Structure 1
Amino acid sequence: MSLQNNASINVTHFIIGGFDTLSRPIAVGVVILITYLLAVLANIAYIMFIISDKRLHKPMYLLICNLAVVDIMYTSSCSPTMIGVLLAGVNTISYVECLIQMCVFHLGTLMESFVLAFMALDRFIAIIYPFHYHSYLTNTRVVVLTFILWFVAWCFVCYMPATVVPLPHCSSRLKYSFCDFPALIRTTCVNPEKYFNEVAIVSFFIFFFTLVFICLSYCAILLFVKLSSNNEKKKMGSTLVSHLICVIVYYCPAFVRSIFTRFGVVLTLEERQGLLIGAVLGPCLVNPFVYCLRTKEIKQKLFKIFKKFNTSE
């Protein structure tokens, strides 16, 4: 660990400087606020639909419910901070709050990939082994496996505070728009490249293997679909499209931000900020609407609610 020339300082608060060069902060803040509220409300509504209807207490809907919980946690880890900076001018955050925000954000990042891989497994079993689906994936097994995934993700995340806390800080100004691992490491008195590379390697293996797992499940399903009837093909295709949209929206910006930048892709500060905001808000907003529009039971429930509302008027 090589210290820079700057003397270390005692940091109790960080100054968020990621939006300092933004020409229209109010407009960006309003967009983030509206998107955040829509994403949170849509995910909460989805969770309430699943909890309130016993017919939806099935493995697939438990996974979708878990994805909604992850989405709320993921976007809520940093969106309120960005909204506070842009709309209220509150550009400081305490050291402890910053560490918590970093952990929650990266926990959400990992859980998004784990849940999407788990959902791919669910669809694989449902389509390839439809008659054994309920014996392979019971509600109890889904809950147990979900808790295991949360535990594994938290074990990976623990590396970050364990790395950052012992390091001396030479600056209290965050270069980015909220507290993530790269932003905090850049405030320390050490060469950040070593830590960036370590995180990039771990991120690469997690993203790569979960994405490969998802792709292999898709290939197996597509091969099976070729041997199926036209009606079955349509139903299976609809299921795959829903999951594929969620996978693309999440993995594309995640790979560019976490992996490709380590292999020569150069992004300006503004490009990185935009990509990061899109990576946080995009999946959390898209996921509930995708599954809502493509899930028969949810559409029927919404139709009944709207019909009841119109009748009461």
Structure 2
Amino acid sequence: MVPAYPCKKYLIFVIRSPGYAEAQNHTHVSEFHLIGFSEDPELQPLLLGLFLSMYLITVLGNLLIILAVTSDSHLHTPMYFFLCNLSLADMGFTSTTVPMLIVDIHTHSSAISYTGCLTQMSLFLLFGCMDDLLLTVMAYDRFVAICHPLYYQLIMNPRRCSFLLLVCFVVSLLDSLLQNFMVLGITCFKGMEISNFFCDSSQLFSLNCHDTFSYDVIIYLIGIIFCVFPMSGILFSYSKIVSTTLRVPSPGGMYKAFSTCGSHLTVVCLFYGTAFGVYLSSSFSLASQSCAVASVVYTVVTPMLNPFIYSLRNRDIKRAMRRLLSKATSPQLFHFMWRKAVN
């Protein structure tokens, strides 16, 4: 005889939040797709030639600045020491984005791995912050040279110059690491498409499927630190320079003071002007094309123009370049190289 047990039925309800289905579709991606430029096959050869030529001009121009300064003992001064490091930062700044862009155009591929994206973003932030801080240090150097000329060698001694360069590097590295760790903390992304031709931290934060308020606050604080404080230092330095220069009785001394600052001031205006252009285009424009074009001006055109600005407006740099080119094209050098090749 089989015992009769009461038959009980249980109805189980699974309650899911409204964003559950959406969160299920957002996972941690292994690669991203850069959609900064048009994929029209007719434009690809033109873009390839344009970016390749601009990159070569940038690297060669900044290398000439470095070689001219290092080969001429008359230019071993704090101003040209910081100029060499600015040229190195410019080469690193443009080398983090343009070579990969050239390869992507050549291979017709827009994919970049997650690790490669983080690496590119970290190097881009490192060299970009180095540019920003070095321009501030160069403004301070001009301020000491013009406003306190008698104490210039004492204040801007080699130890202090090396210390200022180390501070620029350490602060830039900390900013790069901070934003890198913030991106690593993102557990899921809304998609894989980045509306630019390189991995930008702001674009990656916008792909976060969770609340981005804390990220936005930190990014704005970083922007204030690396924009407001350096700009304030540069404006303060040039306000003191202008007030000191206007008290110079001789027109020749006034012209010399302004000419030494003209190149640096032009580069500062170009750097911050294009940076604000990128910020405004990314904030108020939804089109990826406009943001990419503004980024090209900021990351490619500005480092390319810096060597021309410094060499065309600086007599010492032009003399050093003439000596460097004359040594490079001397018959003795060709004869020496020929003997080395034969032997």
**Given the two structures, how large is their TM-score scaled by the length of structure 1?**
0.90
Taking the aligned partners of 1:205 and 1:265, their CA distance within structure 2 comes to 23
Letter in 1 for 2:246: K
Aligned partner of 2:174 in structure 1 is 155
Taking the aligned partners of 2:115 and 2:20, their CA distance within structure 1 comes to 23
- Deviation of 1:117 after TM superposition, in Å, equals 0.6
Aligned partner of 1:120 in structure 2 is 139
1:160-191 per-position Cα deviation (integer Å, ceiling 9, x unaligned): 11111121233333232111102222343234
The aligned runs of 1:271-310 (5 Å cut-off) are 271-307=290-326
Taking the aligned partners of 1:50 and 1:104, their CA distance within structure 2 comes to 26
Give the conservation status (yes or no) of the 8 Å contact 2:195–2:292.
no
**Alignment RMSD (CA, Å):** 2.4
Aligned partner of 1:173 in structure 2 is 193
Among all aligned residue pairs of Structure 1 and Structure 2, give the percentage whose two residues are the same amino acid. 26
Aligned partner of 1:185 in structure 2 is 205
Structure whose CA Rg is larger: 2
- Deviation of 1:75 after TM superposition, in Å, equals 0.6
Give the conservation status (yes or no) of the 8 Å contact 2:281–2:290.
no
1:65-99 per-position Cα deviation (integer Å, ceiling 9, x unaligned): 11011101111111112212223323222211110
* Residue of structure 2 aligned with 1:58, choices 72, 77, 88: 77
Aligned length: 310
* Residue of structure 2 aligned with 1:85, choices 104, 125, 132: 104
Taking the aligned partners of 1:190 and 1:299, their CA distance within structure 2 comes to 54
Taking the aligned partners of 2:126 and 2:21, their CA distance within structure 1 comes to 30
Aligned partner of 2:253 in structure 1 is 232
**What 5-or-longer segments of structure 2 have no aligned partner?**
1-18, 335-343
Give the conservation status (yes or no) of the 8 Å contact 2:66–2:84.
yes
Aligned partner of 2:271 in structure 1 is 250
Aligned partner of 2:123 in structure 1 is 104
Give the conservation status (yes or no) of the 8 Å contact 2:72–2:320.
no
Letter in 1 for 2:73: K
Taking the aligned partners of 1:79 and 1:90, their CA distance within structure 2 comes to 14
Give the conservation status (yes or no) of the 8 Å contact 1:107–1:153.
yes
Letter in 2 for 1:5: E
Taking the aligned partners of 2:60 and 2:186, their CA distance within structure 1 comes to 39
- Deviation of 1:30 after TM superposition, in Å, equals 1.8
2:234 is the alignment partner of 1:214: yes
* Residue of structure 1 aligned with 2:150, choices 128, 131, 141: 131
- Deviation of 1:3 after TM superposition, in Å, equals 8.2
- Deviation of 1:201 after TM superposition, in Å, equals 3.4
The aligned runs of 1:24-63 (5 Å cut-off) are 24-63=43-82
